[in-house]
Chains A and B, each alone.
Chain A
Amino acid sequence: MKTAAKTPLPATLIHDFLEASAALYPDHCAVVCDSGRYTYRQINEAANALAASLVDLGLQRSDPVILLFRNSFEYIACYYAILKAGGCVVPINPGFTPPDVAAFIECVQPHTILVESPLLARLRECTSIRSFLVTQKDGDIPPGIRALCKKPALSLQEMLSKPCLENPNLPIAADSCASIIFTSGSTGKPKGAMLSHKNIAANTRSICQYLSITHSDIQMVILPFSYVMGKSLLNTHIAAGARVVLNNQFAFTAAVLRQMEQEQVTAFSGVPSTYAHLVNKSPLAEYKERLPFLRYCSQAGGHMARPVKTALRELLPSHTAIVVMYGATEASARLTYLDPESFHQKIDSIGKAIPGVTVTVRDEQGNEQPAGKEGELVARGENIMMGYYKDPEATHKVLDRWGYHTGDYGYRDDEGFLFVSGRKDELIKVSGYRVNISEIETCILESGLAVECAVMPEADAQGENKLLALVTPVNVSVTAEALHLYCQNKLPPFKRPRDIVIAKAMPKNVNGKIDRDQCRVHIRNHTRTGQ
């Protein structure tokens, strides 16, 4: 890795980073995406124009604004516009289902909803829309959605049509809420991590420092900006005056690699499933000599299995470092990273705390544990969230005088490297997304088709979690297909069980509790024999 960044990044507000880069590198290409290439000047002026419109609409400090877009120039312009106008960005993953989206809107009562036209159907489960609705073109709104709107709909195209040179420079407190990021949907209580400008700015500076990101870097972004890791790629590269290349079709790995070569990309980032896909279903091996500028590949979003790490190391150019990282939405993204020089020696480690963060291992009473002894990983730093939105009880459970309780159990070795052993509760990660098992079980039971069910993760050969479900049906006419169809309508793809098996009775232990190990055995037998 290169040495640390040469100059400190002084910004205290997230949009200060954009404004500073626009002043330093106005004509530098900041964004490459389907619709074209955009300079820092273009992005900043578009964001200024939209910010002025939001202020004109009466947006007040920390008012929530929902952002429902795939990665694009518009997403970036809207994101910075909301921040410049003093609002609070509430990004919604385009994969969330209409009931989820309706629940988020009901929860935050946004001042404005900014939505990409093809995603307008996600609003169909709302009972009414009391916010301003801004879409790409006013004419895009279907009559069914328009009928829900209590205020006139507005056109983003029109708002962006008059670029504005002047930054609004509104007085905004660094500790005001800049973003609420939700981690679960309507089938459970929505849980939104509130992140301040200070939280995100601190984490952005720290990441830029340890990854030595400079204005000459070019980051391939295949993760959605609505996901905290995707968002940190945006914040850090804009802060450094660097460039992001947006590709929303990672499944077409050959096209992604082709673009990485063409754009002379210096950094790539993904979650474990990204790399499993890259290792197993992509022409990465053919690109070993064709990615001369690729400095590093970073990975976060859960534990990546050792076979995937070693295969990736084999396939990547020798000059490309692998940076394993660990974090949480509640930490504005990042908590630790493994220095690439220790990759082989500490291959299962999440590394050490990043600059400005401390991570301790503590028992239930809060006592710090010595090296080698397991406990919960607890983090402190300016990047730790303000709390959960409208949920002091949940906040109280994870924030205390020791810092943020990650819910991950782990230990520190004699050399100070941290290792994660597993989740404290039932939350797991599938395709990089946090999934709560009980939420999915509740959904299946709510179908009215099931008497009992057990959902459990199972790692495949690449170490990626897939969800399995064993279900006892209400009657013999219920099929696995019917349950799949129900889940398809109620859950985003990453929350849907890959295999659903119907059982006459659930395996139970002597206490009458469902025996999940036996459930797995049952599912495996069924999959093997087809019975």
Chain B
Amino acid sequence: MAQKTKVKQFIVNELLFGNESLLTSDDQSFLKTGVLDSSGLLELITFIENTFGITVNDDELVPENLDSLDNVEKFILHKATA
């Protein structure tokens, strides 16, 4: 849960410039709803790597890992225990 909160804070503060209303639910697709574009996704990856001490490999760049708050949380937990 703490991971999800941190990721959400980062997206809202750094990529949406505080506009929290654009992120309405934890399973909302970032790309389909325009929360992130490809540059924003790269910034999110850098944040995840720096904050949680994990490496996002190129072959892990799939929606199942990174396209919603729920998916990001699951991915971080999976990487931490792998």
B77 CB-CB contact with A under 8 Å: no
Q: Is there contact, CB below 8 Å, between B16 and A253?
A: no
Nearest residue (CB) in A for B59 is A283
Q: Is there contact, CB below 8 Å, between A254 and B62?
A: yes
Instruction: Answer whether A282 and B31 are a contact pair too, CB < 8 Å, given A277-B38, A481-B17, A488-B17.
Output: no
A344 CB-CB contact with B under 8 Å: no
B61 contacts which chain A residues (CB < 8 A)?
251-255, 281-283
Assembly CA distance A282 to B62 (angstroms): 10
B33 CB-CB contact with A under 8 Å: yes
Contact partner of A251 (CB less than 8 A), chosen from B16, B19, B36, B57, is: B36
Nearest residue (CB) in A for B44 is A251
A493 CB-CB contact with B under 8 Å: yes
Contact partner of A281 (CB less than 8 A), chosen from B16, B32, B42, is: B42
Contact partner of A254 (CB less than 8 A), chosen from B31, B38, B59, B67, is: B59
Q: Is there contact, CB below 8 Å, between A258 and B41?
A: no
A249 CB-CB contact with B under 8 Å: yes
Q: Is there contact, CB below 8 Å, between B31 and A249?
A: yes
Near A by CB (< 8 A), chain B positions 1-45 give: 16-19, 31-34, 36-39, 41-42
B49 CB-CB contact with A under 8 Å: no
Q: Is there contact, CB below 8 Å, between B62 and A493?
A: no
A484 contacts which chain B residues (CB < 8 A)?
17
Assembly CA distance A521 to B33 (angstroms): 36
B63 CB-CB contact with A under 8 Å: yes
Nearest residue (CB) in A for B38 is A251
Assembly CA distance A252 to B33 (angstroms): 15
Q: Is there contact, CB below 8 Å, between B58 and A282?
A: yes
B63 contacts which chain A residues (CB < 8 A)?
249, 252, 255
CB distance from A351 to the nearest CB of B (A): 28
Assembly CA distance A249 to B68 (angstroms): 13
A250 CB-CB contact with B under 8 Å: yes
B66 CB-CB contact with A under 8 Å: yes
Nearest residue (CB) in A for B58 is A283
Count A-B contacts at CB 8 Å: 62
A118 CB-CB contact with B under 8 Å: yes
Interface centre among B18, B32, B34, B59 (most CB of A within 10 A): B59
Q: Is there contact, CB below 8 Å, between B32 and A118?
A: yes
Assembly CA distance A431 to B40 (angstroms): 13
A286 CB-CB contact with B under 8 Å: yes
Cβ contacts A281-321/B at 8 Å (1 or 0 each): 11100100000000000000000000000000000000000
Assembly CA distance A277 to B61 (angstroms): 12
CB distance from B14 to the nearest CB of A (A): 10
Assembly CA distance A485 to B17 (angstroms): 6
CB distance from B15 to the nearest CB of A (A): 10
A498 CB-CB contact with B under 8 Å: yes
B18 contacts which chain A residues (CB < 8 A)?
481, 485
Q: Is there contact, CB below 8 Å, between B31 and A251?
A: yes
Instruction: Answer whether A252 and B66 are a contact pair too, CB < 8 Å, given A485-B19, A488-B19.
Output: yes
Assembly CA distance A118 to B59 (angstroms): 29
Q: Is there contact, CB below 8 Å, between A254 and B16?
A: no
Nearest residue (CB) in A for B30 is A251
Assembly CA distance A378 to B58 (angstroms): 42
B39 contacts which chain A residues (CB < 8 A)?
493, 498
Assembly CA distance A431 to B38 (angstroms): 10
Nearest residue (CB) in A for B13 is A481
B57 contacts which chain A residues (CB < 8 A)?
283
Q: Is there contact, CB below 8 Å, between B62 and A258?
A: yes
Assembly CA distance A273 to B37 (angstroms): 12
Instruction: Answer whether A254 and B32 are a contact pair too, CB < 8 Å, given A481-B17, A488-B16.
Output: no
CB distance from A493 to the nearest CB of B (A): 5
Q: Is there contact, CB below 8 Å, between B33 and A118?
A: yes
CB distance from A197 to the nearest CB of B (A): 33
Assembly CA distance A473 to B33 (angstroms): 32
CB distance from B1 to the nearest CB of A (A): 25
14 A-B pairs with C-beta separation under 8 A: A118-B32, A249-B63, A250-B38, A251-B31, A251-B61, A252-B61, A252-B62, A252-B66, A254-B60, A282-B58, A283-B57, A488-B19, A493-B34, A493-B37
The interface of chain A, by Cβ under 8 A from chain B, is 95, 118, 248-255, 258, 273, 277, 281-283, 286, 431, 481, 484-485, 488, 493-494, 498
By Cβ-Cβ distance, the 9 closest A-B pairs, closest first, are: A251-B38, A283-B58, A254-B61, A283-B59, A255-B62, A485-B17, A251-B41, A493-B37, A484-B17
Query: Apart from A248-B32, A493-B34, what 9 extra A-B contacts exist at CB < 8 Å?
Result: A118-B33, A251-B38, A252-B62, A254-B61, A254-B62, A281-B42, A282-B61, A283-B58, A488-B17
